[in-house]
Amino acid sequence: MPVTKYSRQREAIMDFLMTRRDHPTADIVYQNVKSAFPHISLGTVYRNLNLLADLGRIARIRVGDGVDRFDYNTTLHCHFVCRKCGRVMDLHTDVPSMANGMEGRSIDGNLIEGHVTYFYGSCSRCLL
Amino acid sequence: MPVTKYSRQREAIMDFLMTRRDHPTADIVYQNVKSAFPHISLGTVYRNLNLLADLGRIARIRVGDGVDRFDYNTTLHCHFVCRKCGRVMDLHTDVPSMANGMEGRSIDGNLIEGHVTYFYGSCSRCLL
DNA sequence: CTTTTTGCAAAACCTTTGCACAACC
DNA sequence: GGTTGTGCAAAGGTTTTGCAAAAAG
């Protein structure tokens, strides 16, 4: 529980994320927030994204391509990763998962606290 | 479908992976194969691990911590990631998943070809 | 002899960090 | 005034790559 003071840069980062339905990387956030804060640094963007994610105000999404993505929508939902173009998007259809309900169970002595599922394939745009 | 010639280094890498039940990183493979090939380079290890993964002879496992892991066991099974020590291990108990059976379906115009699920929590060793 | 693989080193890539100064409260 | 946040630049960690020499077929 870190103590936080207000910062205009952090607000701008939050505002930008709010406008996006995809899941921008830190660098994309940086490129966009630069129009309002020409001198903002990538380091500041990372520090704020990490802080906001730690506070639970945004979600950090890692689909295994080595880049962190961030999402204003913190409600639990599945993601779809296009193997051709790399886009990451929400899956709106409710995907039933037996993995839900595993929380708190122990398997082989390991306590399960959560799980991550994502689907991959070819996105609508790449299928054309 | 790359053309491949035999290489002793690649065989050694494969042999090492075969002996491991955990999911070594490229660097751990490198450290171990060095005993047989003192002059082998990390680059060679990466090239071979990627080649073997592309050929489907080993599995590449990415749990979102920014490091690639490799597994001799290519059959579908779930993984457990310890949030404290970072260990990655197989879940032997069969975890029923509704995500199976999604392959081939289309959602929002996106063709689903596969999915990844991993569980995280505290491992038996860290719970002591 | 031709193609693939290797070793080495450098580069690429993403992310974190140290520090002095500015902003916040 | 004390604390947190910022900008800058440097460093950190992982993975990829260019190239000449070696190995494989």
Cα–Cα distance between B99 and A95 in angstroms, integer? 7
Structural domain ending residue among the three candidates B71, B90, B114: B71
Torsion angle of the four alpha carbons B30, B118, A64, B56, in this order, in degrees rounded to the nearest 10 = 60
Nucleotide nearest to B41 (CA to C1'): C7
**Opening angle at CA A74, ends A72 and A75, nearest 5:** 135
Structural domain ending residue among the three candidates A29, A45, A71: A71
Shared domain check, B87 and B63: no
Question: Which protein residue's Cα is closest to nucleotide D17 at C1'?
Answer: B43
SS3 assignment, position B118: strand
Write the pLDDT tens digit of every residue in A31-86.
999 999 999 999 999 999 999 999 999 999 999 889 999 999 998 888 999 988 88
User: Using a CB-CB distance cutoff of 8 angstroms, which residues of chain A are in contact with residue B93?
Assistant: 107-108
Contacts for A41 with CB less than 8 Å, ≥ 6 apart = none
Residue B33: which of B17, B47, B22, B50 has the closest Cα? B17
User: Quick check: is B3 in a domain?
Assistant: no
Q: At which residue do the structure tokens 């115009």 appear?
A: B109
User: Quick check: is A3 in a domain?
Assistant: no
Residue of A nearest to B69 (CA): A64
User: Quick check: is A1 in a domain?
Assistant: no
Structural domain ending residue among the three candidates A28, A51, A71: A71
Specify the CATH number for the domain of residue A67.
Answer: 1.10.10.10
* Domain membership of residue B52 as a residue range: 8-71
Does residue B22 surpass a pLDDT of 70?
yes
Answer for the pair A48, A30: CB distance below 8 angstroms, yes or no.
no
Cα–Cα distance between B71 and B61 in angstroms, integer? 7
* pLDDT confidence of residue B10: 98
Cα–Cα distance between A15 and A58 in angstroms, integer? 11
Write the pLDDT tens digit of every residue in B58-96.
999 999 888 999 999 998 888 999 988 888 988 876 665
Shared domain check, A15 and A64: yes
